[in-house]
Chain A
Amino acid sequence: MAYQEVEKYSKPVRVLHWFNTASFLLLFITGLILFIPPLAIAAQDSWTRLIHRIAAVLLVAAPVIFALIYPGKAARALKEAFTWGSGDLDWLKAAPAYYFLADESAMPPQGHMNTGQKMWWFLTVVFGVVFVATGAVMWFARDTIAPTGFLWAIFTHDVAFIVTGAMLFVHLYLSVAHPLMRPLRTGSWSAMTRGTVSAEYARAHHARWFEEITAATHAQAAAANREKVLVGSHGGKTG
């Protein structure tokens, strides 16, 4: 079969992703400076805290603008984060064997996002809200809120920072560094850079999704492919 590609992430989604990547990294680094004393010298005169605020504004503004322009996409994406089923449990059971032993035998077919991706996306949404809420308290309510409230906002902000910070490493690792993700030109990296994945990849790793997008126009081909999938699937992977 000829090499074919399917679009996994539309351009606006990719732009949003990288925009938020940049702002999150800025937030992460300028936040980390406050967390690690030896780095704090870099925070003099509050300019890192100013950058933190600018990045925070961008981080919040980008998805809001996105949602205003593409309400449908936004709604679908949000829905995706909160749509969970028994397949996700199966995925979790199968994940260790897959990620450690490259054993994909137990992997159930995945949708547009696999369970791992969905977990990351879910955490991003939830902690995003936590970040914004506590950050807003620290930024805007510092003069008015009781010191205890301010301190607990810091505490919560920091918990979110630690969790998402750790998850960021996992996300990066599984997207581009895990041995199974090589080479980069296919799969997630490609999905989030060029926007497309090979049909082969989509069929193999996101079978349910692949099925959905091909069902309407290529019913036949889809049926044939399904055969193949069932026979020679490599299982899903996160991206």
Chain B
Amino acid sequence: MADKAILFDATRCTACRGCQVACKQWNTNDEVIPQQQDGVKEVNTGSYENPADLSPQTWIKTTFREIERNGKVRFLFNRRSCMHCTDAACVKVCPNHSVYHNEDGAVSYDKDTCTGCGYCVACPFDVPRFTKNGLTGVFTKMDKCTLCTTPGLNRIAEGMEPACVKSCPTDALLFGDRDELVKLGRKRVDDLKVKGFTNAYFYGDKELGGLHVMYVLDEAPEVYGLPKDPKVPPAAIAWQDVIQPMGWAVGGLTLVGLGLNYIVAREAKITRELPGKKEE
């Protein structure tokens, strides 16, 4: 099956935030006013941007940035959610494979088996968010955008587009085969460059093996708050590529060594005891 993806065109987004609300509605998130415990403060902090951060109940949010260059103000809108990376750090580090790539290329997760261990903070985009058990203070489950493939709420399997895309009035969000959207995105960025947006950038084409949420930007990615050249962090690689094999190797060698010792030592003990040496 061809990989699916979302194409976000920042030049078309009006920050109406329909996507932010549609996501919550479809995924039944925040149906009551969220409390501060989830990191969501229901106050205006001097910005249109609220909630202040992603949360277990906020999987996508619109971001607002104001920049001023040569006396000209720009008001830049971006979309923050899971990027559904091909080289996904979260998938790499998830100890029990609760986070996985589904057949569409989206990074989905099995909430039943998620232990909330938090290793997926390895995400270079700082996306996974965790619910805390109010009583014990222990983080219980990770949550994030699944590209609307959450079991039971799977729009994609039903032939629909993700809720955020459905809500977008200006087609700033498109959903479809990744290959097609890559072509479209590249073309749009080329057009932007022709129009004089020399820093225009197509984000997600190559990053982390290709993202499944791609961005047509008329400025450099950093200006839109996206990390330039994101990487799976070394600690995540160390965990997956060093610690896991090392654990098996050391554990295995120890057991084998002890087993060998037992056989050899038992033999030696018997031999030594033959002359009738007294047991202590």
Give the contacting residue for B235; candidates A155, A159, A204, A234; CB below 8 A.
A155
Given known contacts A45-B140, A53-B138, is B121 in contact with A150 (CB within 8 Å)? Answer: yes
CA distance A205 to B262 in the complex (A): 20
CA distance A89 to B40 in the complex (A): 59
Answer whether residue B115 sits at the interface, using C-beta atoms and an 8 A cutoff.
yes
Contact A162 B251, beta carbon cutoff 8 Å: yes
A37/B116 contact (C-beta < 8 A), A46-B133, A155-B243, A158-B239 known? no
Contacts of B246 in A (CB 8 A): 159, 162
Cβ of A163 within 8 Å of any chain B Cβ, yes or no, is yes
User: Which among B126, B264, B265, B272 has the greatest number of chain A C-beta atoms within 10 A?
Assistant: B265
**A165, B243: Cβ atoms closer than 8 Å:** no
Contacts of A200 in B (CB 8 A): 280
Q: Which residue of A lies closest to B133 (CB)?
A: A46
B258 within 8 A of A: yes
A162-B247 contact given A37-B95, A155-B239, CB 8 Å threshold? yes
> Which of the residues B115, B141, B258 comes within 8 Å of A173, measured between beta carbons?
B258
Interface residues contributed by chain B, number (CB under 8 Å): 49
A1: chain B residues at CB < 8 Å are none
Is residue A72 within 8 Å, beta carbon to beta carbon, of the partner chain?
no
> Number of A interface residues, CB 8 Å?
48
Indicate whether A50 reaches chain B with its CB closer than 8 angstroms: yes
15 additional A-B pairs beyond A40-B96, A180-B269, beta carbons within 8 Å, are A35-B247, A44-B112, A46-B138, A49-B138, A49-B139, A100-B265, A147-B126, A148-B235, A151-B93, A151-B122, A155-B239, A169-B251, A178-B265, A179-B268, A179-B269
What is A's interface to B at a CB cutoff of 8 Å?
A: 34-35, 37, 39-41, 43-46, 48-50, 53, 99-103, 138, 142, 147-148, 150-152, 154-155, 158-159, 161-163, 165-166, 169-170, 173, 177-180, 186, 198, 200-201, 204, 234
Chain B interface (Cβ < 8 Å from any Cβ of A): 93, 95-98, 112-119, 121-123, 126, 133, 136, 138-141, 233, 235-236, 238-239, 242-244, 246-247, 250-251, 253-255, 258, 261-262, 264-266, 268-269, 271-272, 280
User: Can you list 23 residue pairs at the A/B interface with Cβ under 8 Å?
Assistant: A34-B95, A43-B115, A45-B141, A49-B138, A49-B139, A50-B138, A99-B261, A100-B261, A142-B139, A147-B122, A151-B119, A151-B233, A154-B239, A155-B238, A166-B250, A166-B253, A166-B254, A170-B254, A173-B258, A177-B262, A179-B262, A179-B269, A180-B265
